[in-house]
Structure 1
Amino acid sequence: MELAVREAVAGDAHDVRDVHLTSIEGLAGQAYTDEQIRAWAHDRDPEQYPIDSEKTVFLVAEHDEEIVGFGWMKPNADDYFRADIDGEITAIYVHPTVARNGIGTRIYDELEARAVRAGITSLGLWASLNAVPFYQAQGYARVTDHVHEYHGETLTLVEMENRCLR
């Protein structure tokens, strides 16, 4: 599959939102209930994505000029992590029609490479239950579980860390 990974631009926000919703609805069904998925996907606004933020690296993956995945990283991790980490992978999502073709890995590899170039030595994230195997394959280890509320539904998320960046 021919794929281009590039920095996102403001005009990508609606397509990013569409991939986000479709990915949640299409890939999380074995890990969460229908009610949890609806709450998680509820009310996503294209303006919520920090595409233009100087505090993030926001990438999209394109196939045949369509956005099929995205991911973003914060070089400075937020303080809600239990692990002592430098940077944060905030999200990686892939459209379900092209999932498991290496797109998430390509996005992750580029985010990690940028983290290493920025001097970051450890990354953390909160993974949905369905994404834990993907992040384990990237070298992440489980730190702890967290319960997060989305629009009245609670979801278990897994805090993970990687101290062996490539």
Structure 2
Amino acid sequence: MRVRKATPRDAREVCAVHEASIAALGVDGYDDEQVAAWGADRSPDDYAFDGPDAFLVAETDGRVVGFAALSPRPGDHLDTAADAEVTGVYVHPDHARTGVGSRLLRALETVARVWDADTLALHASRNAVDFYDDAGFHRVRETTHDFSDDTDGRVVEMQKTLTRQSRASRTVAGRQR
């Protein structure tokens, strides 16, 4: 498996991974109506690969099997202070629980360190809370996420303080901001 920066050519595969992940894995934390609203109206045009965010894909045998995104500007929806926000880690269900998500998250943490971020925050879907717990995030609060105009669901706000790496290992990640 290889993790790399996403390009516009990845948009269709990223969209397909996103939809498949929500449909198959979202049922572990949400009812059918919430899952349908969460996955509704996805389009390859929804994914911005240029700009300040880090957008990474994991690929195996030339196919995108997961993706992750990090923003240097945490959203106002977060209650906790953070230097960067993990805006998503999604893995195709055929590759779930094989280390793809962990590898993507570690790559985002490397980018965050290059950005000199000390803390990360995110809203974890119910089905992903254990994944983030295992990665060293701690729970801040439970809150509501709007999946659509008329459907919402509970998510968990989480935060992680990053440990510092040596300058040499931080340089390997390259500056992406």
Q: Considering the TM-score relative to the shorter chain, is it more than 0.5?
A: yes
Structure 1 residue aligned with 2:56: 59
- Of residues 129, 133, 137, the one that matches 1:136 is 133
Structure 2 residue aligned with 1:27: 25
Cα shift at 1:118: 1.4
- Of residues 100, 105, 113, the one that matches 1:116 is 113
Cα shift at 1:22: 0.1
CA contact (8 A) 1:112 1:165 kept: no
Point out where structure 1 has 5 or more consecutive residues left out of the alignment.
none
SS, match of residue 30 in structure 2: coil
1:159 maps to 2:157:
yes
- Of residues 35, 38, 45, the one that matches 2:36 is 38
Whole-Å separation in 1 of the counterparts to 2:141 and 2:163: 20
Whole-Å separation in 1 of the counterparts to 2:140 and 2:63: 35
Which stretch of structure 1 is more off in the superposition, 73-82 or 11-20? 73-82
Structure 1 residue aligned with 2:167: none
Cα shift at 1:15: 0.6
Structure 2 residue aligned with 1:92: 89
Q: Pairwise mapping of residues 142-153 of structure 1 onto structure 2 (< 5 A)?
A: 142-151=139-148, 152-153=150-151
Whole-Å separation in 2 of the counterparts to 1:103 and 1:11: 20
CA contact (8 A) 1:122 1:165 kept: no
Structure 1 residue aligned with 2:170: none
Point out where structure 2 has 5 or more consecutive residues left out of the alignment.
165-177
Q: Which amino acid in the other structure matches residue 101 of structure 2?
A: G
Q: When the two structures are superposed, what TM-score results if normalisation uses the length of structure 2? A: 0.89
Whole-Å separation in 2 of the counterparts to 1:165 and 1:95: 29
Whole-Å separation in 2 of the counterparts to 1:138 and 1:112: 11
Whole-Å separation in 2 of the counterparts to 1:49 and 1:39: 18
1:11 maps to 2:13:
no
Cα shift at 1:85: 0.8
SS, match of residue 115 in structure 1: helix
Moved over 6 A (4+): none
Q: Which amino acid in the other structure matches residue 49 of structure 1?
A: Y
Structure 2 residue aligned with 1:104: 101
Q: Which amino acid in the other structure matches residue 21 of structure 1?
A: E
Cα shift at 1:29: 1.1
User: Taking every aligned residue pair, what percent have the same amino acid on both sides?
Assistant: 40
Whole-Å separation in 1 of the counterparts to 2:130 and 2:29: 12
Structure 2 residue aligned with 1:71: 68
Say what the alpha-carbon RMSD is for the aligned residues: 1.0
Whole-Å separation in 1 of the counterparts to 2:91 and 2:163: 22
